[in-house]
């Protein structure tokens, strides 16, 4: 009898041990989060002095491109369409210098599950103004921390977040556009090569590093009235303590001044999230646009809000109405 009991005890111990091991494995599974540590890492890297202001066709923007590529690779994104890597390289003529410039959009893909042919694009531009030496001005590097290293930080953080969640029914394209400061060059080129009917939404992030005029835990959206995209986001954010408002700066025509416009002109409900009080922002396009002027909590909470707000679009539950551009602007 004692021997039989001993066998039962040993079997129980083995079964219990296996269950506990399973619990450990489950506990150690990586959880999808958006945290300020990751945000700070991306932002400080992209807006560092050694990026030299990330002007298109410079060593600085090339360094930024490599950083974004390496992050896409680390996260585990795949390449877009027939591209052999994350770069969509093309050549254009710069209007001001009349020179031929070769540059690249950086594109990573997270394929959808049940609706992989329906695409949501999450974007920001990674170029800025570069280095400008001016008499009497000690600092010559236009770091572009808010404009738009903050937005690219959001793209990278969201790419990692949605990759870890692994439940996106629609395909997500994560894009760092080039040449925005030269006239939406990268996004315009990208738009020429797509079937716009497959793109259900465009989520563009621009200058998300400061407290808006609406107060903490708020953001505003360009072109709010041009589709029901904004209303979908508002509904998804109910109860979170974060609010989304319509663009309060209509006189600046901001809907057409960021990369969302290139897709919106094709009918895609593509809009830009921002938090910056642009009418009084003293750092816009100045050498003073540095990381120290930004609020990490604002960026982090805004990225979280974008993730939560777009949840039903990425899952395939909601599809925003198409944008109709009635006037050429």
264 alpha carbon, distance to own chain's centre: 17
Contact (CB, 8 A) for 280 and 286: no
Q: Which residue has the higher pLDDT, 183 or 10?
A: 183
* 214-240 average pLDDT score: 98
Structure tokens at 193: 């090569």
- 245 pLDDT tier (thresholds 50, 70, 90): very high
What pLDDT band is residue 16 in, cutting at 50, 70 and 90?
Answer: low
* For residues 206-227, average pLDDT: 97
Coarse DSSP helix, strand, coil percentages of the chain, rounded to the nearest 5 percent: 40, 20, 40
Cβ proximity of 56 and 185 under 8 Å:
yes
Mean per-residue pLDDT over the chain, rounded = 92
pLDDT at 17: 55
CA distance 39 to 57: 26
Q: What is the pLDDT of residues 97-139, one digit of tens each?
A: 899 999 999 999 999 999 999 999 999 999 999 999 887 777 8
- Give the model's pLDDT for residue 12: 53
For residues 259-263, give the mean pLDDT: 98
Place of tokens 């945000």: 39
**DSSP secondary structure of 248-295:** S-GGG-GGGSSTHHHHHTTT--EEEEE---TTT-TTTTSTT--GGGS-
Residue 152 has pLDDT above 70, yes or no: yes
Q: Give me the DSSP letters along 35-65.
A: -HHHHHHHHHHHTSGGGGGGBTTSHHHHHHH
**φ and ψ at 111, to 5 degrees?**
-65, 140
Q: Model's pTM, two decimal places?
A: 0.90
């Amino acid at each position: 009898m004692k021997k039989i009991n001993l066998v039962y005890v040993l079997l129980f111990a083995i079964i219990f041990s296996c269950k506990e091991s399973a619990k450990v494995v489950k506990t150690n599974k990586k959880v999808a989060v958006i945290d300020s540590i990751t945000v700070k890492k991306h932002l400080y890297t992209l807006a560092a002095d050694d990026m030299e202001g990330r002007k298109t066709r410079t060593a600085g923007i090339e360094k930024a491109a490599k950083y974004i590529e390496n992050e896409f690779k680390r996260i585990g994104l795949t390449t877009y369409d027939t591209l052999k890597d994350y770069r969509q390289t093309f050549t254009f003529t710069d209007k001001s210098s009349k020179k031929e410039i070769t540059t690249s959009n950086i594109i990573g893909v997270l394929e959808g599950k049940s609706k992989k042919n329906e695409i949501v694009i999450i974007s920001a531009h990674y170029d800025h103004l570069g280095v400008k030496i001016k008499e009497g001005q000690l600092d010559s590097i236009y770091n572009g921390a808010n404009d738009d290293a903050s937005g690219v930080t959001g793209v990278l953080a969201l790419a990692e977040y949605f990759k870890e969640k692994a439940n996106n029914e629609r395909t997500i394209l994560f894009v760092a556009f080039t040449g925005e400061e030269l006239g939406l060059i990268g996004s315009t080129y990208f738009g020429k090569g797509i079937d716009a009917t497959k793109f259900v939404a465009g989520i563009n992030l621009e200058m998300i590093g400061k407290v808006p005029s609406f107060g903490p835990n708020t953001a505003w959206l360009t072109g709010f009235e041009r589709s029901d995209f904004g209303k979908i986001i508002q509904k998804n954010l109910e109860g979170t303590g974060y609010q989304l408002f319509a663009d309060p700066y209509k006189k600046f025509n901001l809907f057409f001044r960021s990369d969302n416009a290139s897709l919106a002109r094709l009918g895609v409900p593509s809009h830009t999230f921002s938090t910056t009080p642009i009418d009084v922002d003293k750092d816009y396009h100045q050498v003073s646009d540095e990381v120290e002027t930004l609020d990490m909590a604002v960026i982090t909470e805004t990225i979280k809000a974008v993730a939560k707000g777009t949840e039903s679009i990425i899952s395939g539950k909601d599809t925003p109405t198409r944008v109709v551009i009635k006037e050429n602007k």
